[in-house]
């Protein structure tokens, strides 16, 4: 009788083990939708997103997967970043200009000529702004995962824009944030806020004459075909942010949350930046080879731009609202610390 019970117990354990193994094998991974405006090939952002997706899958042992939607497949950055805040899209990579639609204070990082070098900007972001930025997004139902990179912002148009006076009367296309709108209007331009997919049609119809963007966006998107003159003046270096819906993150079991964060931390911000910045010169060379023009400012011209804008910074801070004054104070403190 005891032997029979033992056999039955062993059989039950074997059946339980087999059932558990089958259940684990059949369990579908959790999938997160990742939105990006990056073109679907030929750029560093796709590589970065795919690398991140692979790291997430590896760290979670296949239980968590990132499904990238590239080339604005889920909508423009301006639309999808707000969908992330509402929990309708899980996550995405966003330029600071678009990310500012959720936390307006972030647009202060884009004040033209405010940072004196990319090294100063990088130091301020990594060492002095991450905590505050994370707190501000948290209040909006969004988790800030980390900094990435968009690239150096220059002018693109049908003619060079090398001095502040060149913008007077120009029809400018801008991101939908107050920083760019104030910048253009202060220098006499007429800004029209538009989403990225609307830029090329705006130039084709004569609605736009100048736009500030990166060569890494302008060339692959076809923008340089309608705005063939690049003015390399380096208005600012644009950071990007990886953002996730807080509700999507909170729904994940703790082991998967940890796996996601380990994957995020595998690549430092410095590597993201180096990969994008290294790509810029290659694209400018391609632009010139394709018949595009490049105009570059000298140090004296750069000083003229900064002097024309220094008095605008306080106005931009005031117009931004929210916690903009505290945000700007943190930027100022960070810049001073980073120049010591």
Instruction: Decide if 51 is inside a domain.
Output: yes
Q: Write down the pLDDT at residue 15.
A: 41
| Each residue's pLDDT tens digit, 126-153 | 999 999 999 999 999 999 999 999 999 9
Instruction: Decide if 261 is inside a domain.
Output: yes
98/253 Cα distance (integer angstroms): 30
Q: CATH number of the domain that 79 lies in?
A: 3.40.190.170
Q: Write down the pLDDT at residue 26.
A: 60
Angle at 307 between CA 215 and CA 212, to 5 degrees: 20
Q: What is the pTM of this model?
A: 0.83
Which ranges in the chain belong to alpha helices (H)? 2-26, 44-59, 77-86, 96-99, 118-124, 130-139, 178-186, 199-204, 215-221, 223-226, 246-251, 254-265, 269-289, 299-309, 313-320, 324-338
Q: How confident is the model at residue 21 (pLDDT cuts 50, 70, 90)?
A: very low
36/50 Cα distance (integer angstroms): 12
Phi and psi at 338, nearest 5°, equal -80, -15
What is the percent of the chain where pLDDT is above 90?
75
**Structural domain count of the chain:** 1
> Residue 42 pLDDT > 90, yes or no?
no
Q: Which domain holds residue 204?
A: 29-338
Which two three-digit tokens encode residue 55?
């790291």
Q: Which residue matches tokens 């003046």?
A: 233
Instruction: Decide if 6 is inside a domain.
Output: no
Q: Write down the pLDDT at residue 180.
A: 82
Instruction: Decide if 204 is inside a domain.
Output: yes
Residue 29 carries which DSSP code? P
| Each residue's pLDDT tens digit, 47-105 | 999 999 999 999 999 999 999 999 999 998 989 999 999 999 999 999 998 999 999 99
Q: How confident is the model at residue 197 (pLDDT cuts 50, 70, 90)?
A: confident
With 0-12 CB in 10 A as exposed, 13-18 as middle and 19+ as buried, what is 91? buried
Rounded to an integer, the average pLDDT of 174-196 is 86
Instruction: Decide if 5 is inside a domain.
Output: no
Instruction: Decide if 12 is inside a domain.
Output: no
């Amino acid at each position: 009788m005891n032997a029979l019970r033992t056999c039955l117990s062993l059989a039950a354990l074997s059946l339980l083990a087999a059932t558990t193994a089958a259940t684990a094998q059949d369990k579908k991974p959790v999938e997160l939708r990742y939105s990006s405006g990056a073109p679907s090939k030929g750029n560093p952002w796709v590589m970065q997103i795919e690398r991140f997706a692979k790291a997430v899958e590896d760290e979670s042992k296949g239980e968590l997967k990132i499904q990238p939607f590239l080339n604005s497949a889920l909508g423009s950055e301006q639309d999808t970043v707000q969908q992330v805040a509402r929990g309708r899209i899980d996550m995405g990579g966003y330029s600071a200009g678009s990310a500012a639609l959720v936390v307006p204070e972030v647009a202060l990082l884009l004040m033209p000529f405010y940072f004196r070098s990319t090294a100063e900007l990088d130091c301020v972001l990594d060492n002095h702004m991450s905590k505050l930025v994370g707190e501000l997004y948290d209040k909006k139902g969004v988790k800030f995962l980390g900094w990435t990179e968009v690239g150096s912002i220059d002018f693109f148009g049908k003619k060079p824009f090398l001095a502040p006076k060149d913008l007077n009367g120009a029809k400018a296309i801008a991101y939908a944030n107050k920083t760019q709108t104030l910048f253009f209007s202060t220098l006499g331009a007429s800004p029209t806020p538009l989403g990225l997919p609307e830029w090329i049609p705006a130039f084709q119809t004569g609605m736009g004459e100048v736009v500030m963007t990166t060569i890494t966006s302008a060339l692959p998107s076809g923008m340089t075909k309608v705005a063939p003159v690049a003015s390399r003046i380096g208005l600012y270096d644009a950071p990007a942010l990886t953002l996730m819906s807080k509700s999507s993150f909170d729904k994940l079991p703790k082991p998967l949350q940890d796996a996601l964060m380990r994957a995020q931390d595998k690549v430092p911000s410095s590597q993201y930046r180096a990969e994008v910045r290294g790509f810029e010169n290659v694209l400018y060379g391609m632009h010139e080879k394709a018949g595009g023009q490049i105009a570059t400012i000298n140090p004296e011209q750069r000083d003229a731009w900064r002097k024309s804008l220094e008095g605008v910074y306080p106005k931009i801070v005031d117009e931004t609202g929210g916690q903009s004054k505290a945000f700007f104070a943190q930027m100022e403190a960070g810049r001073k610390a980073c120049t010591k």
